[in-house]
Amino acid sequence: MALKEQKTKMPPTQNAPKKNKKKSQKRYGSYIMKVLKQVHPKMRISNQAMSVMESCVGDTFERIAAEASRLVRNGKSSMMQTRDIQSAVRLVFPGELSRHAVSEGCKAIVNYKSKEAAPEGETQ
């Protein structure tokens, strides 16, 4: 009888190919559809247009996150706060659009906090 070779777990060598991790990609399609149906209930959107919208939303979030990160780094703070996000939105979006975005964001936070504080089974 031949002896079975034992498999040992060894650390990967420098020549071993690295496993490619699949980067999770956030999809915004369902949220875009909800907004579209609120504004124009009978309107539809093509797959190509949805792809463009998802790219636009993703790019916008990346820009805001990058700007907020820069603000935190320059401010010598170790934690990102609400005001950093608000300042980043003001820097990324021009004029009236930034004021509208900040007010809608504040409204969404208040709505979220009120639902979080409400006892279970009770909704507004």
77-98: average pLDDT: 92
- Residues 90 and 82: their CA atoms lie apart, in Å, by 12
Which tens digits make up the pLDDT trace of 26-83? 789 999 999 999 999 999 999 999 999 999 999 999 999 999 999 999 988 889 998 9
CA distances from 52 to 29, 35, 56, 57 (A): 10, 15, 6, 9
* pLDDT grade for 7, boundaries at 50, 70 and 90: low
Which domains are seen in the chain, by residue range? 43-117 (1.10.20.10)
Structure tokens at 18: 């690295």
At residue 24 the predicted structure's pLDDT band, cuts being 50, 70 and 90, is low
Q: pLDDT band at residue 2, thresholds of 50, 70 and 90?
A: low
Place of tokens 């820069």: 70
